[in-house]
Structure 1
Amino acid sequence: MELEMQASIDKGISSTLSSLQYDCAAPRNINDLDLQPDMKDLIDPQPCHNFTDTSYLHCSVRSLRLRAKLCAIANSLHSPPSFADTLQFEQDIQIALDNLPHWTDPRALMASTLLDLQLRQFLIIIHQPLTLYTSSQSKKRPDTSQIYTTTTTLSAAESIITLHTALLNASPPNFALTCLRLDYLRAALLIAHIAYHSSSPFITRIARPVSEATATASLRLLEERSMRPGRGNHHYWYLSAAISLVSIRFAEADGKGEEEKEGLSREAGDRVCALLYRVLALQDEQGEGMPSEVMLGDAGTVGNTMRTPASMVEPGFGVDMGGFQGMEAMEGWEGQGTWGLDDFWFLGDLDGG
């Protein structure tokens, strides 16, 4: 049920759980080792605050009906819910978040993060229609509902990226949710959309620090997804372009010169080239290994640094620019003007994945 639910959210369709009846009870909060072949009766479940092998499934069922309902409403063909209804849905989500158990067991990090993410993503989804409408308006003074919606969306989006980043920074790092989910991409693109289109000084003051704080982290998340399962390179193009567009907008507001804005534009392509270079390095039949760092740029331009995950680096491999020899002959390379940011905003997989 959980897999079908998340697939429906990612595809933008209603979950079948919203229209079908089911009577599956929640799994008991017990450990797998508590089950024995000669058992005649099931043991009593442990309290929710005790983490077990089935704690995630046991707690996730509690919010399943709410999430199925919100998924159906968000993807309905009818008009989006009113602001009052949206506030009620937000309150329901916050109550469900507050009721999540707080485990101290180190093994519970991924389970507790996933329980939080699958609820928190709906804070973005239910506020998204009004957020996109607000950002498309040219009002210098948005009304109270628009300000509330935008700030709530930014807060939820930043929290989602922070939760995913915490898993990467854990010891040992956990890449499971990073490779299986894309809610952080939705969050990062929405932050960029708000920051780029904002015409209100108040919203800009809120969106800019959030955008600057999450840009590197969101790129890192997509980088890990591209390098480990080998999928999602096209998503990296979209986000890299969006972040550069926002950076250029901020540079214009700060009165920066054309040279610096050109450097920010070039960074969008440099980041993608660095990622693709590292992917190709893994496919090298000569077995030269994986560079620990790829740097693009030269004197007078804004360079880009991209680090390879430590678990994918082979010791003793030197870093040089040999992998980029001959690329200067490519059309549009090094700012020839024919490879613009608009070229990043096409649909479809670059790598077929």
Structure 2
Amino acid sequence: MSTRSAESRSNSPDASVEKRASKKRKVLSCYACRNRKMKCDRVYPVCSRCQKTGRAEQCTYDPRLLEELPASGEGHLEGGIGLNNFPQPDSGLGPTPNSNIAPDALTWKLRIQERRLGLLERQIARMDNTRGDVNAPSSIVNNLDDHEDDPKIKECFMFRGKSFKTQFYGSTSPMTLIGQFPELQIFTRAAMSIDSSMGRIRGDFKAFRTRRKALLKEKGPKFQGTDAEILPMLPTRSVMDHHVALYLKTFETSYRILHEPTFWKEYHAFWEAPQGELTPIHFVVILLLILAATKCLTPEQDTVFIGDSSIGREAASNIIDACDAWLKRQPRKHLTLAFFQQNCLSLVAKRVNCVKMKQDWINSGDLIRMAMAAGMHRDPSLLAGKRISEFETEMRKRLWGTIAELELASSIDCGLQSSLCGLYFDVPPPANVPDEIFHTESPQAPVGRPLDHFTASSYLVHSHRSLSLRVHLMQLLNNPSTNLQYSDVLHYDAQITSILSSFPTWSSPESVVSGALLNLQLRQFLLILHRPYAILAATNSRFAYSFTACANAASSIIGSHDLLIQRNIFALNHIRNDIFRAAMTTAMVAYNNSSFPELSDPPLNGTAPITEPPAPKSNPAEWGTTTKPSIPPGVQLNIPQMPSNNLMMKCLVTTSMELIERCVAIFEHKVMSLGTGYMEFWILCSALSLMPASSPFNPAMYNYSNDLRSRNQKAIDGITRLCFRVLAMQKDPEDNFASSLRSTISTASPPDGHSSFTNVVVPQGATPRGPGPESSIMGVPGVHGIPGAGGLATALASGGKIMAPGQGAWDDLQDMQVDMSGWTFPDFWAFDMGGDS
């Protein structure tokens, strides 16, 4: 019986198969190229050779290879399993078990497969139609023209410089939007040719910054990074108390860097230590970086400027330089909790003050690599035994989540791939608990609160849920080989909207920053995804939803910042570029969906490109008398008019103009707090001036040249008003910068003899007077009625002072890593060239 059983087993089909089975080598090339013994570039779903020879339907790959290799971009197969083990956005918070491919990457691969099947079905349908087959499957016929009207979206990027002195900015960077809006470029060049004062103001800023750079270069490095340089920079305890409280209220409710009970224990011990006791320098560095991060966040009305930069930003920059020099001297062999806290605080301080932003992506990348080298990207439970405490486990989770968010935000703003793309990490999110629940001696892990209960760690907990999607979108949007179709945009729109609707609504006042940040970091992707299609809404009704989606996303972004500013919270306006992105996207979409009626006075078509603005004329009365701005040959500047035959477009364009106005006001807060970002403000003023007029268009009464001049002057008035406010708040009114700028503004009256300064208010106690010999400007006695910006500058020179209605925060293009001197319209871009290196 046993013999028969053995025989039956040996003769069984399974046994014979098992004996003969051998592991086949995977075929990397497609089968078509392999059979023809041709070289295959292994592009998925169809290699280029099969595509060129018309054999796309024969291009197939080894199924085992497709199961193991993730698709990158449009389908280039890459070796290795390197994608993150992220949780799905709508699932739990833990990593996906037994999965080597991120859910979003897997979904994208399935969509590529579906697209390939659709391509094959369309080819079969065409073959059947050619043969006169009227019985073709209905699914094939329905899919025949699914994507025939999808426009070809070009890569959006900025590549400037020459030789090896180049900089690259990818699709997700807000600065690349400027290059996608050629009409705005032409408009700004026309404005600078109309009024030569813009060129002189530009020269004042550039000359001041050139002198400042030369002076700093002569002096050499300001700090050597010694302990003796650090200690004298610490202010008194009363000053430090205010800044620490502001920091904890603003940043520690979202990014988690410190453990508050432990920090307060060290803080009190530091100030109460007896004289002569050894000073913990590492803790002093943390205090100084907190001071730098909050230096420009107070809603003070009397902001003072040193040249073009606010005195708070200058002080913060000095502190950051000293702390960075100290950090460079510290050994990295044995890393500590304080080391990662110091580096995180340094990144936050630089961003909130817009200092050294050209190196931000590099610095955040270095920090995340140091964290990876320390194993912070892996689950702390892998450290078996007593090598890590529960307190350290929780702090590692918090710090990794903070570092990942900071690095991802920097990558989006620069348009460069994040280090998280292709990285496997399985560290779980931190527990949703307040800091008081655990301490350095906690014997067990803290038990998390419900997700709808707000704690200081709630932001990291909920942000972890969308991390997979955001990293995936970053990888797709900054990959030039990605062929996103409109169905993909709607797919990701639905995912983002679903995640946003799943966030709880907290009633705690401390949750306002966390809630706004969760909203902003997802809404920005809606603007990026929908913009290419929203600009086509007027000509293709299929994309009308994208215009609505852009307007809704911009409105939500602006509303979040408005709410924060109303509560005197300026941190997110400083540290992020949402306002500039929202304004530029909205302006571009509104312009392209406006009407452009035929005119008897046609738009100007120049015969030679602009290189420099007109040289200053000897007689100030002659300035700004140019009647026809130069425009590059072959390019027409069409002035948009309000849509008249499409009610939906008219409503959306009107709403967009209101949103841009709010963006200009919010960005002005940023500039007047930091003293940087003048070029972006000039761009926003120009974009607002280019928008359609609210009044009905009358072709019989319309004059193109007059309309263009009026719009140009409106944009110039906006930036001139801002420069005047900076001049009014100089710490030293007699320095070279102030004297030069005052001279420029005082002789630069507009051609029509007046200028609007709606944001300049009368000083307290001053009363505006009517016209007459005893009249005064802005209520400053003894100054007679001099029109325009020149009159305001003369009032200042006579001792008058003008206060702004509100102070806030700014940003700067050179601090946003862009030096525009190599562009084809250098007049405009050279305006804000200087800044930190």
Match of 1:217 in 2: 662
Alpha-carbon shift at residue 116 of structure 1 (Å): 0.6
- Kindly indicate whether residue 246 of structure 2 is the aligned counterpart of residue 246 of structure 1: no
1:128-153 per-position Cα deviation (integer Å, ceiling 9, x unaligned): 22234x27xxxxx6333221222211
- Kindly indicate whether residue 577 of structure 2 is the aligned counterpart of residue 166 of structure 1: no
CA 1:25–1:98 in structure 2 vs 1: closer, same or farther (change >3 Å)? same
User: Which amino acid counterpart does residue 662 of structure 2 have in structure 1?
Assistant: A
Match of 1:324 in 2: 793
Alpha-carbon shift at residue 348 of structure 1 (Å): 7.2
User: Which amino acid counterpart does residue 78 of structure 1 have in structure 2?
Assistant: S
Greater Rg over alpha carbons, structure? 2
Alpha-carbon distance in structure 1 between the residues aligned to 2:490 and 2:674? 38
CA 1:113–1:297 in structure 2 vs 1: closer, same or farther (change >3 Å)? farther
User: SS of 2:663's equivalent?
Assistant: helix
CA 1:345–1:86 in structure 2 vs 1: closer, same or farther (change >3 Å)? farther
Please give the residue correspondences for 1:41-60 in structure 2 after superposition, counting only pairs within 5 Å: 41-60=444-463
For structure 1, which runs of at least 5 residues remain unmatched after alignment? 136-140, 288-295, 328-341
- Kindly indicate whether residue 727 of structure 2 is the aligned counterpart of residue 280 of structure 1: yes
CA 1:34–1:229 in structure 2 vs 1: closer, same or farther (change >3 Å)? farther
- The 8 Å contact of residues 238 and 345 in structure 1, kept in 2 or not, is answered as no
User: SS of 2:569's equivalent?
Assistant: coil
1:19-67 per-position Cα deviation (integer Å, ceiling 9, x unaligned): 1111221111111222223321122011111111111111111111110
Q: Choose from 754, 757, 772 the match for 1:304.
A: 757
- Kindly indicate whether residue 679 of structure 2 is the aligned counterpart of residue 234 of structure 1: yes
User: Which amino acid counterpart does residue 235 of structure 1 have in structure 2?
Assistant: E
1:231-262 per-position Cα deviation (integer Å, ceiling 9, x unaligned): 211110111101101145x5683667556664
Match of 2:509 in 1: 106
User: Which amino acid counterpart does residue 33 of structure 1 have in structure 2?
Assistant: E
- Kindly indicate whether residue 558 of structure 2 is the aligned counterpart of residue 75 of structure 1: no
Alpha-carbon shift at residue 206 of structure 1 (Å): 3.2
User: Which amino acid counterpart does residue 663 of structure 2 have in structure 1?
Assistant: S
Match of 2:430 in 1: 27
User: SS of 1:16's equivalent?
Assistant: coil
Match of 2:832 in 1: 349
Q: Choose from 693, 711, 714 the match for 1:264.
A: 711
User: SS of 2:759's equivalent?
Assistant: strand
User: Which amino acid counterpart does residue 461 of structure 2 have in structure 1?
Assistant: H
User: SS of 1:237's equivalent?
Assistant: helix
Alpha-carbon distance in structure 2 between the residues aligned to 1:14 and 1:94? 24
1:274-295 per-position Cα deviation (integer Å, ceiling 9, x unaligned): 11222233323259xxxxxxxx
User: Which amino acid counterpart does residue 214 of structure 1 have in structure 2?
Assistant: L
User: SS of 1:325's equivalent?
Assistant: helix
- The 8 Å contact of residues 587 and 657 in structure 2, kept in 1 or not, is answered as no
User: SS of 1:24's equivalent?
Assistant: coil
Per the normalisation by structure 2, the TM-score is 0.35
Please give the residue correspondences for 1:63-212 in structure 2 after superposition, counting only pairs within 5 Å: 63-132=466-535, 134=536, 142-170=539-567, 173-199=568-594, 201=643, 202=646, 204-212=649-657
- Relative to structure 2, which stretch is displaced further, 273-282 or 47-56? 273-282
User: SS of 2:758's equivalent?
Assistant: strand
User: Which amino acid counterpart does residue 679 of structure 2 have in structure 1?
Assistant: H
User: Which amino acid counterpart does residue 177 of structure 1 have in structure 2?
Assistant: L
- The 8 Å contact of residues 83 and 145 in structure 1, kept in 2 or not, is answered as no
Match of 1:2 in 2: 405
Number of aligned positions between the proteins: 318
User: Which amino acid counterpart does residue 832 of structure 2 have in structure 1?
Assistant: D
User: Which amino acid counterpart does residue 223 of structure 1 have in structure 2?
Assistant: E
User: Which amino acid counterpart does residue 509 of structure 2 have in structure 1?
Assistant: P
User: SS of 1:128's equivalent?
Assistant: helix
CA 1:31–1:254 in structure 2 vs 1: closer, same or farther (change >3 Å)? farther
User: Which amino acid counterpart does residue 542 of structure 2 have in structure 1?
Assistant: S
Alpha-carbon distance in structure 2 between the residues aligned to 1:4 and 1:192? 29
Alpha-carbon distance in structure 1 between the residues aligned to 2:527 and 2:830? 23
- The 8 Å contact of residues 151 and 206 in structure 1, kept in 2 or not, is answered as no
User: Which amino acid counterpart does residue 119 of structure 1 have in structure 2?
Assistant: L
CA 1:344–1:215 in structure 2 vs 1: closer, same or farther (change >3 Å)? farther
Alpha-carbon distance in structure 2 between the residues aligned to 1:306 and 1:216? 13
- The 8 Å contact of residues 49 and 102 in structure 1, kept in 2 or not, is answered as yes
Alpha-carbon distance in structure 1 between the residues aligned to 2:658 and 2:492? 28
For structure 2, which runs of at least 5 residues remain unmatched after alignment? 1-403, 596-642, 735-748, 768-777, 781-788, 797-824
User: Which amino acid counterpart does residue 94 of structure 1 have in structure 2?
Assistant: T
Please give the residue correspondences for 1:333-348 in structure 2 after superposition, counting only pairs within 5 Å: 345-346=828-829
- The 8 Å contact of residues 49 and 103 in structure 1, kept in 2 or not, is answered as yes
Alpha-carbon shift at residue 315 of structure 1 (Å): 6.5
- Relative to structure 2, which stretch is displaced further, 210-219 or 178-187? 210-219
- The 8 Å contact of residues 586 and 660 in structure 2, kept in 1 or not, is answered as no
Alpha-carbon distance in structure 2 between the residues aligned to 1:254 and 1:221? 33
- Relative to structure 2, which stretch is displaced further, 255-264 or 179-188? 255-264
Alpha-carbon distance in structure 2 between the residues aligned to 1:23 and 1:33? 26
Alpha-carbon distance in structure 1 between the residues aligned to 2:657 and 2:689? 11
CA 1:204–1:262 in structure 2 vs 1: closer, same or farther (change >3 Å)? farther
User: SS of 2:832's equivalent?
Assistant: coil
Alpha-carbon distance in structure 1 between the residues aligned to 2:588 and 2:423? 36
Match of 1:292 in 2: none
Alpha-carbon shift at residue 326 of structure 1 (Å): 11
- Relative to structure 2, which stretch is displaced further, 188-197 or 65-74? 188-197
1:283-325 per-position Cα deviation (integer Å, ceiling 9, x unaligned): 23259xxxxxxxx9898856231258xxxx9967995576523
CA 1:317–1:79 in structure 2 vs 1: closer, same or farther (change >3 Å)? farther
Alpha-carbon distance in structure 1 between the residues aligned to 2:686 and 2:709? 13
Alpha-carbon distance in structure 2 between the residues aligned to 1:147 and 1:324? 47
- The 8 Å contact of residues 432 and 448 in structure 2, kept in 1 or not, is answered as yes
RMSD: 3.2
- The 8 Å contact of residues 551 and 586 in structure 2, kept in 1 or not, is answered as yes
Alpha-carbon distance in structure 2 between the residues aligned to 1:301 and 1:348? 24
- The 8 Å contact of residues 191 and 207 in structure 1, kept in 2 or not, is answered as no
User: SS of 2:449's equivalent?
Assistant: coil
Alpha-carbon distance in structure 2 between the residues aligned to 1:109 and 1:233? 29
Alpha-carbon shift at residue 229 of structure 1 (Å): 2.3
Match of 2:821 in 1: none
- The 8 Å contact of residues 263 and 302 in structure 1, kept in 2 or not, is answered as no
Alpha-carbon distance in structure 2 between the residues aligned to 1:111 and 1:48? 13
